[in-house]
Each structure stands twice: as structure tokens, then as C-alpha cells.
Amino acid sequence: MPELPEVETVKRGLAPTFEGALIARVEQNRPDLRFPFPAGFADRLTGKRVTALSRRSKYLLADIDSNDVLIMHLGMSGSFRIEAGLAEDLPGQFAHPRNKDPKHDHVVFHLETTAGPGARIIYNDPRRFGFMDLVSRPELAAHPYFRELGLEPLGNELSGATLARLFAGRKMPLKAALLNQKFIAGLGNIYVCEALWRTGLSPQSPAGMLATKSGRPAKKADLLAANIRAILEEAIKAGGSSLKDHTQTDGTLGYFQHSFAVYDREGEACRTPGCAGSIARLVQSGRSTFYCPSCQA
């Protein structure tokens, strides 16, 4: 599912329950997700307290008072839901049918919170492309998943100048460059398509076009940086995009998908004012790109 806005939505949903909670028990229902769980996974968490929940790129990070960090990635179809204590499952909690199949409940964190015992945080992932790992806090930055991660698009580093510097001289298409987590970490297929459309840039243009010969940012570089930021912020405000699997942790749907200008709109009219084009789909590095050939020339 989840690109940065969806992961951020999940983080905000989990934080009130997870932060400060004592992990009373960990139910691990299979030996692996995409990768095997680390040795002693449940034991290393049991009886420990979660001190903080954060996000880096598309990763959720839970700081544990043992100085470990619980790393969680949702892959394509991972989701979390919270079930309250004694009152058995609130009606309407699973607004989305997909992630209520208990067959795919792979991890259950049983918690004791300030509200008392009984709250559960449940990780469900039909496709099992997600994964979890446990590393000590000081080792996190050197961890293979994080070592080569690029900049946070919502942080201060993202600017036209930065894009120009990162992409200068590169022939790979803009679409591929923006999807590459080594440059910018957190963008995925949807938001890359949307950002390119909003900026009027072709997904097939070489990434190096964002830099002039002297290495300064081209005109559109600043605009692209601003649009990336704006789209992510709008999507977070909307609770993310719910296509198939993403729900907020209380089961309600994000609604940014209603704001898509190009994603999954093949054949429909371009929404650029005055543009008569229609949205086309092409495949780049094995993934669908949606764009308007008319105004993203």
C-alpha cells in the first residue's frame, strides 16, 4: 500500500496507543514475512515499553526502552489496526473489509496502556511483502535498510537546488529517479505520478533536465520540489489514499484517492485547466506510469 503519507497516517494513528505502552505479550503467528523475523523477536519485546513512535521514509520505527528499535515496513498490503480492551471490537471498526481477515494477522502486540490492559495492535498483511526487524538504536543508521536512504521530502533539504544537484547529468527518466529511494526516500508510484503531472513534466524526461549546464536548478526544479511537498502534505491531511488495503488504524478510509489527477485514470480527461488531453498509461521499469501526454510534454 503505503507510500509516505499512508505510513505517516498509520504512525499518527498508532502513536496514542503505542507510545508509552508496555508490551505484555507478542503473538507472532508465522516465522517470517518478507524476511524471517529476527531471532528472539517476541522475547526481546516482551515486558518492554515503547518510548516513541516515528517514521523514516516508509518505515515505522518504535523505540523500545531496551535501546532497541522495532523497524516495521508495510510492503504493499500491510496495515495495522487497534482493538480496544474489554469491549470487544467496536462496531464499524473495519470500514475496509480487506484487512479483517484474521488469516493474515501475523503479529499481535498485547499492550498495557494508561487506559489499562487489553489493547492490541495487530499487523495484517495478505501479501507479506512487509517485514519487521529489531536493531539496537546506535546501529540503526548503518542498518542496510537505512544506510542508503535519501532525504526526507518533508524536511528542509528538499528544494529545486537539491533536485538539481542529485539529478545533474543523469539520463534515467524522471519517474525512475523520483522512485529511487536513494535520492528521495518515501515517494512511491502514486505520488510521483501526481507530482510530475502537477509540475507539467514528462515522466520520460531525463532526470538531468532539472539542472542547467552550470548545475543550477532549472525553472521547473523549484516547482517540482514545492509540488512534491504540497501533495504529500495534502495526502497526509486526507488520511492517505485508500485503494485496496490502506485504512487508518481505526479502520476508516483515507480519501486522497479522490484527489488523484492522473493515477489510475487512464483514458479520462486531463484536469489541467485548458488541456484537452486524456490520461495515458505507460510502463517504466516495470511499473505503471499515468500522465497526460498533452500537458506533460
Partner DNA sequence: AGTGGGACCTGTCCGC
Partner DNA sequence: TGCGGACAGGTCCCAC
Binding site for DNA (CB under 7 A): 1-3, 6, 34, 57-58, 73, 75-77, 98, 101, 103-104, 126-129, 144-145, 169-173, 176, 181, 188-190, 207, 240-246, 254, 284-288
**Alpha carbon distances (Å) from 27 to 45, 78, 195, 208:** 11, 17, 40, 48
Specify whether 182 is catalytic.
no
Label each residue of 93-111 as H, E or C. Answer: CCCCCHHHCHHHEEEEEEE
Minimum distance of DNA from residue 92's CB (angstroms): 19
Say which amino acid occupies 40: G
Q: Which of 3, 6, 8, 194 is catalytic?
A: 3
- Identify whether the C-beta of residue 26 lies closer than 8 Å to the C-beta of residue 110: yes
List alpha helices for the chain, DSSP H: 4-18, 41-45, 144-147, 160-167, 174-179, 189-199, 219-237
> Is the CB of 91 or the CB of 286 nearer to DNA?
286
> Is the CB of 136 or the CB of 288 nearer to DNA?
288
Minimum distance of DNA from residue 191's CB (angstroms): 8
How is residue 70 annotated by DSSP? E
Minimum distance of DNA from residue 182's CB (angstroms): 8
> Is the CB of 6 or the CB of 68 nearer to DNA?
6
- Identify whether the C-beta of residue 82 lies closer than 8 Å to the C-beta of residue 13: yes
- Identify whether the C-beta of residue 44 lies closer than 8 Å to the C-beta of residue 134: yes
Say which amino acid occupies 17: T
> Is the CB of 17 or the CB of 189 nearer to DNA?
189
Specify whether 219 is catalytic.
no
Minimum distance of DNA from residue 264's CB (angstroms): 7
Q: Which of 48, 58, 81, 198 is catalytic?
A: 58
Minimum distance of DNA from residue 117's CB (angstroms): 31
Q: Provide Rg for the chain, Cα atoms.
A: 20
Minimum distance of DNA from residue 8's CB (angstroms): 12
Specify whether 55 is catalytic.
no
> Is the CB of 111 or the CB of 262 nearer to DNA?
262
- Any idea how long the chain is? 297
Specify whether 16 is catalytic.
no
Query: Which of 129, 121, 130, 112 has the alpha carbon at shortest distance from 47?
Result: 112
> Is the CB of 110 or the CB of 246 nearer to DNA?
246
Max distance between CA atoms of the chain, in angstroms, equals: 65
Number of Cβ within 10 Å of residue 36's Cβ equals 12
Active site residues: 2-3, 58, 287
